[in-house]
Structure 1
Amino acid sequence: MIHRPASPPIAGRPDVIAQAHARSIELGLRASETPDFHPLRRPALRELVDRNQSLYTHALPVMETLHAQIVDTQSMVVLTDNHGVILHSLGDSDFVEKANRVALCPGVSWAEADRGTNAIGTALVDSQPTVVHAEEHFLHANRILTCSCAPIADPFGRTIGALDVSGDTRGFHKHTLALVRMSAQMIENHLFSNQFADSIRIHFHARAEFIGTLFEGLAAFAPDGTFLSANRSALFQFGRPLAELQRQPFDALFGIAFATPLQQTSRAPGESIVLTLPSGVRVVARGEFTAPRYFAPADGFAASSRIAVSAATRSSARPCEPAPLATLETLDTGDAQVAAILRRVAKLRGRDIPVLVLGKTGTGKEWLARAIHHDSPRRAAPFVALNCASLPETLIEAELFGYEDGAFTGAKKRGSVGKIVQADGGTLFLDEIGDMPLAQQVRLMRVLQERTVVPLGGTRAIPVDLRIVCATHRNLRAMIEAGTFREDLYYRINGLVVTLPALRDRTDLAALVTRMLALQPDHERLPRRVSEAVLARFVQCRWPGNLRQLANVLRTASIMAEGAQQIELEDLPEDFLQDCIEAEPDGISKPPASVPCNGISEPAAATPARMEDWQATLIAQTLARLDGNVSAAARELGLARNTVYRYLRRASTH
């Protein structure tokens, strides 16, 4: 850790800090002022988070990753809205108390008008990443902090918030701002991909190895070639501001007719093409397009085709990590089916018999795999997990078996040992093994037979000693019949087969809720229980996402209920009610027979046609009553907004 002594207020960066101090004085602030200890009340904070739901949703996992990188450094990660009001924070327990002394907590404004010169407020004013260290803060009370902040822009370049790392001045590190800037750019790229999910997206960079990374340029186009927007990296590569690019056609930006790359990548999916920027720089590019039903084909490009999916859209990051400590004992929360599975698995303790875990997505297959590892003699060795469905075929071989230096273009120098070698002495968990390509199945079979692995581009066989646990939601026997899964591999991995039940089929829901809430960090003042009304609603839910969905619902609700004794119904996510009653295939929740819903009752034996009419009438009447407000209608009906938009598009075609 690199330390830096406190510096005078305007030393080192006179322009930024001096101008910020001048603004603070003009605002009538006094350096000796005491920080405001009156954050927004819970309902107001909840409403503010709702207004910034897209930012909040996409930032949360990035904040958790960033916090993991700076953990135990007496610091915290902070997310604010575009006015500098803190929406959420994650911090080390030994720093939270110090942060509370200066009101660095959710619901408090850190705009310059309220806090004077500080990284959050100053970064938002200047629209640029900013560090404010120790005595560079205007308020004396804030000089215990060193803060690094980067603004976050929406896909159209408008500032919608800021990401900040604030910590003890003694823990200042010159690389913190770089981490914050990269994390903010990651959030922006997530927002960009979400905003233009139904558009044609071009991923490009002058260096091919940067395609699929944080540094790739992203440009979005309508099906007719109209430019829509571009991310920060693309703007930098174009060398032009967004407003100027919006007046340019595709051929002016990339030196080629719009139809040409579409037709070329349609004929040869997965292959990169070379385009030329206005500056004359040649870049490697890949396109991505998943066309919705209402898009018409453009220039002969088939609306259903998908072109050259970049590695960025198939990130191997896991959306939901399991509990920090999973053992066979902690997984037994009272359900008889699960208890029987745990007893069978326990009999294999100390024996390297492979285990195949079946079950729907989110049922806790990785939790069980970690418990098997922890309760074995291999517990002191690594547990290494790989999701076979999260990587494209071109990367899974390198990730699993490793590669030598120079094995392929873009490979890391000194190569990579791969997941199999990383798991030597421990346990290798292959999640979604049913999605592993046949070529890699053959190589894996050889590893399991010979207990050696040869990296890509290498000649030397590396001996490995590991236990293998696999999981899938697919029917492997049916895949064997179809020729998409090798029978010899199947019999290598299914020493013991267990099937985890879906959450709706378990009897220990209340115990699971208590266990998950108990695992929350103590320092976050998060509730440890739910109200009876919430538990009753949980019992009604069909839980299509199983344990993963339950964990995510509890995490969001806990943050909404921060500071309260328990989670109430109003703390639950907006779209959660959609999954609390049985859903129709179209995603429209169906009320019980003969029970009125918003003034409309449905016959007990409705035909599919009448059910579709009922659904359409319900949505139409709700929209009419709410003056066409889609968000409000979706919230009242317990639907996702996309479902309401689907209805609107369908109605417009009739």
Structure 2
Amino acid sequence: MANLSERQHIERVLAVATHDSGLSQDSSAYDLIKRSWSRCVHDYGLDPAARRRARILTAHELRDHREQAEDFLHVARAGMEQLYKRVSSLGYVLLLTDAQGVTIDYIGNDALETDLKKAGLYLGADWNEEHAGTCAVGTCIVEQAPLTCHREDHFDATHIALSCNSAPLFQPDGEFMGVLDVSMLASPQARESQHLALHLTLLYAQLIEDANFLRHFANRWILRLGTAAALVDVCGELMLAFDADGVVVGANSGARQRLGRMQANDAGAGLLGHLLTDIFRCSMDDIRRLASTPAMGDAALLATFDHDLFHASVTPPRIAPRPAVSATPRESVPLPACPALDRLAGDDRQMQRILEQSKRLVNKGVNILIHGETGTGKEVFAKALHESSERAARPFIAVNCAAIPDSLIESELFGYAPGTFTGARNKGMKGLIQQSDRGTLFLDEIGDMPLHLQTRLLRVLSEREVLPLGADKPVRVELTVIAASHRDLRKLIAGGQFREDLYYRLCGATLFLPPLRERQDKRYLIERLFAEEAAQSGQSPVLAEAALTCLIDYPWPGNVRQLRNVLRFALALSDGVSVELGDLPHELVEGRPPLEETLILPEAEREEGLPAALDEAGLLLAALRRNKWNVTAAAAELGICRATVYRHMKKFSIVSPLDL
């Protein structure tokens, strides 16, 4: 039965919808609410007193919606996480919906999960206006305009405690893509309390949209336009993507609104396909020259044929177009279901086989063990598995078993009850295993986990419950585990360093990540990572062919991790226009791994025909003898670290007479 405030709300909604009376405020925002109420009553046949329950899609239905927007989800998630940091303390939750109003991503307070799910502020909730009534998401979809739907603005009486702010999101071609929503369960009465939330929603919607625009057109020229010269390179208000002939192939929302006047009925279509010289009073040579003109200070100005003036800068393509030979077969392949994994597969056949296996395994409840050399991206691959699974909205907890001290790893993993030991938190601590409940627990370097903890972990995996230190009762956990190691666990089992029963619990499926030197798509991978690192650093230089060739030829003992570090180093040294061969670290240009990994005998001291191994052994032995078996002095003479000396002494079975 409706209470007094709900009955008053129902009467007010029906009065406005049927007689256009009851809303005295005269503004476009209230006009928008009135139009929506009218649609709900006359077009959809909804009743504000129906108290409709939130419609939450099944996992299978949600997966279908997420798959269609997977590429965009990756970009939007980064923006959502940044926004949530700014509004979480105020009690807000974030929803990202597709064009149908289905919530395909969500960030909220897990402690309020039951209440949020009941209210529909949850992953999989359907906020389409046709059945949810007037609401921030559904009405934004219909009107394709930002709005605040505050308390009694909602159509359904069950929603009048909510306050929701939304902004539309558009594809680079102008097609409606979805909605970013910032909502709270219990809002202050005053509508003004939502002004900041709406402003932040609009700001981050634009940031997400522009990030998606730049990702989509990474292989095109980008023209940035703005009213502030000093900011145009950083956050151009208007952005156009154009090809080598100067034809516009994409426009962000600002550009469509400000420049799309050629066809009043369709601003987006009025820009796409036109030459830039049809829009601006200049030649293509003038526009291309902006790529080498700094926007700060005396920024270049562009004038439109409508007499608008903009500060302007141009960014050349970050990724060169792929050769037609490799592009042709890929065009016939249907869109993949797991783009988070596909981004890692690239064009390497071995990685693509691993990808196919992963797609079949990801939602089958199988624990996965990842093998690979240090730096091959085992954690990145594990996170991609998580993001491609039905658990994507739940926590991904990564634990490096080699990085946590033995004295702390037990309490970190299993948690502890209040008062367990001196210095513990008064309320106890939830361990990482419990934090990963219904999500994914990633155990990196599992081979370094102490034996006594392996026993406890085995019990957790078999009984699906965890017992915090000092606690009397275990806690149930729904656990999916991905483990990884660069060590051969079977050899550790043979040496008594790893439990065989735990090994078979973990390796429901084993995936082997190839080292970078063995990948067939090194050129593509280097270009993609270069574009990512350049974007992260706020630069847009071109990778010179000589530098690219050097990167392709290098053996990469540190794999992808080393490659990323090298790219960051080169970008930091570059002039911002191009990364040249001279910007790369010295050992790369010489084409060999870092010096400390090998002992190099000067040519003048090397005997002709002597095997390299004997060269190294003789060099090391001579240095040790000259320095009276002082390892530190021998290392300094050879220009290497002590650890390398000890490693090579073991390798060549060299024993100090002082140890005999």
Smaller-chain TM-score bracket: 0.3 to 0.5
Of structures 1 and 2, the larger Rg is shown by 2
Structure having the higher helix fraction is: 2
Q: TM-score, normalised by structure 2?
A: 0.42
Q: TM-score, normalised by structure 1?
A: 0.43
